[in-house]
Amino acid sequence: MEEKMIWGAATSAYQIEGAAEEDGKGLNIWDIYCRQPGKIFGGHTGDVACDHYHRYREDIGIMKQIGISAYRFSISWARILPQGQGPVNEEGIAFYNRLIDELITNGIEPYITLFHWDYPYALYQRGGWMNPDSVNWFAEYARLVTERFSDRVRYFITFNEPQCFIGMGHVTGEHAPGLKNPLHDGFLMAHHVMMAHGKAVQAMRAAAKRPIMIGYAPTSTVSAPASRSQEDIEAARARYFACPEDAGGWSWNVSWWSDPVMLGRYPEDGVKRYEEYLPDIRPGDLELMHQPLDFYGQNIYNGYRVKAGADGRPMVLERPAGYETTAMGWPVTPESLYWGPKFLYERYGKPIYITENGMACHDMVSRDGRVHDASRIDFMDRYIESLLKAREDGTDIRGYFYWSLLDNFEWAEGYKDRFGLVYVDYATQRRVLKDSAEWYRKWIAGGGMGEGYAS
């Protein structure tokens, strides 16, 4: 591919910023949810997190030291609009201006994610994504972000992982706001989210101070073929884009969340399976969802293997005994970064960014004062090798963002799990670059073609 690869790292506002009640910030649903007994490991909250709000210069210095060329971060909606709409909190705007300016000064391209799960509590009290007005609320927020920052920021992402903030927040209930809504409600919220995406894209294009690049960042568990036979490849592709047969598991899939946005239609199998739960889809709804995008982001951590059964239908293979896992028990499947981007590019035809990929390790500071995370280095090496092989084979892949720059508040798991390139001692806020950060630095310095890559 002719386009130069972007090598970056990612974070989100609630997971690292802290300053939960400082400088006029409003409440979001995670501020409230974390105070409900038994919801978060250890009763942890994001009140302080990594204190990035006060330590962003130090953290950007670390990014420069590693050599990353792009930083994906999210805006806290309630920090700049404490009520979710209405009066603007200029102190919140000022923080992001300082952050953006510091990134640019250090030669790091900012990638802004508008929404990474921290919904303003004031809007949640008005019905949140159930309320049809949520489409306009999000579009107005997107317009404000674009007006204030697009003079310096070129890359914007509307939503991060709707599968999670609707699916885990409103279907299974382990994330904020912790609800298990009826199926009708879940499909209505999904419909509003994708309409909000479309209306936001319109608002952003109109408000931009210069040409901007807009994308979308859902997530998926990748279906990879068990062999290179055409039958297994077709079976894996079919399984990857199929909607779950069980309506109760509808929220975790690719096509329900991406076909309307990328193709302007809901997937046929899902419409048939979920027909009784679907909202009234009005003329123009899908047209609004389907706005021209410049790139497609995908968060990919793992996958599973599929073969064609005797009847040609996809068969999911059981994992072998003793299969490799991360500290969170997630399977280690490097082939996910080959087949996921390939299938997505073939279906949607837009340049691909891996907007999140990484692993939790059992990290600790050793007696020598360092964090030796050899398993993370091996993980990155193998996953990136697969990604670059996909790129070599014709998938238009533009960038890779490691999740995460810093150890951080890992949602329902609190501070138990560590994904960062940088170790954070939460008691002192001391940062320690892990061995993986040094590996990534050498990888980037070598042109993103380290020794582990076999061309």
Quote the CA–CA distance of 381 and 362 in Å, as a whole number. Answer: 18
Please choose, from the candidates 112, 70, 97, the residue with its C-alpha nearest in 3D space to the C-alpha of residue 200. Answer: 112
Q: What is the pLDDT of residues 200-209, one digit of tens each?
A: 999 999 999 9
Mapped onto helix, strand or coil, the DSSP state of residue 384 is: helix
Q: Decide if pLDDT at 451 tops 80.
A: no
Active-site annotation, residues = 161, 356
Q: What is the pLDDT of residues 89-99, one digit of tens each?
A: 999 999 999 99
Quote the CA–CA distance of 426 and 372 in Å, as a whole number. Answer: 19
Look at the block and give the residue holding tokens 């920052």.
Answer: 149
Q: What is the pLDDT of residues 426-446, one digit of tens each?
A: 999 999 999 999 999 999 999
According to the model, what pLDDT value does residue 389 have? 98
Q: Pairing state of beta strands 70-74 and 6-10?
A: parallel
Look at the block and give the residue holding tokens 């000022």.
Answer: 94
Q: What is the pLDDT of residues 176-191, one digit of tens each?
A: 999 999 999 999 999 9
How many residues would you count in the chain?
Answer: 455
List Cα–Cα distances, 368 to 127, 364, 372, 435, in angstroms. 52, 11, 10, 12
Structure tokens at 261: 């946005």
pTM of the model: 0.97
The arithmetic mean of pLDDT across residues 155-172, rounded, is: 98
According to the model, what pLDDT value does residue 234 have? 98
Quote the CA–CA distance of 182 and 221 in Å, as a whole number. Answer: 24
Quote the CA–CA distance of 326 and 401 in Å, as a whole number. Answer: 18
Q: How confident is the model at residue 450 (pLDDT cuts 50, 70, 90)?
A: low
Residue-wise burial string across 190-203, b where 16 or more C-beta atoms lie within 10 A, e elsewhere:
bbbbbbbbbbbbeb
The arithmetic mean of pLDDT across residues 352-380, rounded, is: 98
Write the single-letter amino acid at 409.
F
Structure tokens at 260: 């309307």
Q: Decide if pLDDT at 213 tops 90.
A: yes
Q: How confident is the model at residue 3 (pLDDT cuts 50, 70, 90)?
A: confident
CA atoms within 13 A on the CB side of 314: 19
H/E segment holding residue 23: none
Look at the block and give the residue holding tokens 């990134």.
Answer: 103
Please choose, from the candidates 291, 289, 284, 397, the residue with its C-alpha nearest in 3D space to the C-alpha of residue 337. Answer: 397
According to the model, what pLDDT value does residue 2 have? 57
Quote the CA–CA distance of 254 and 240 in Å, as a whole number. Answer: 7
Quote the CA–CA distance of 389 and 443 in Å, as a whole number. Answer: 16
Please choose, from the candidates 283, 119, 281, the residue with its C-alpha nearest in 3D space to the C-alpha of residue 191. Answer: 281
Q: Decide if pLDDT at 167 tops 70.
A: yes
Q: Decide if pLDDT at 192 tops 50.
A: yes
Write the single-letter amino acid at 387.
L
Q: What is the pLDDT of residues 232-285, one digit of tens each?
A: 999 999 999 999 999 999 999 999 999 999 999 999 999 999 999 999 999 899
According to the model, what pLDDT value does residue 454 have? 33
The arithmetic mean of pLDDT across residues 342-355, rounded, is: 98
Quote the CA–CA distance of 307 and 302 in Å, as a whole number. Answer: 17
The rounded percent of the chain whose pLDDT value lies above 90 is 97
Structure tokens at 92: 């919140």
Q: How confident is the model at residue 1 (pLDDT cuts 50, 70, 90)?
A: very low
According to the model, what pLDDT value does residue 27 have? 98
Q: How confident is the model at residue 453 (pLDDT cuts 50, 70, 90)?
A: very low
Q: Pairing state of beta strands 397-403 and 422-425?
A: unpaired
Q: How confident is the model at residue 447 (pLDDT cuts 50, 70, 90)?
A: confident
Quote the CA–CA distance of 172 and 167 in Å, as a whole number. Answer: 6
Helix axes 336-348, 230-241, angle to 10 degrees: 70
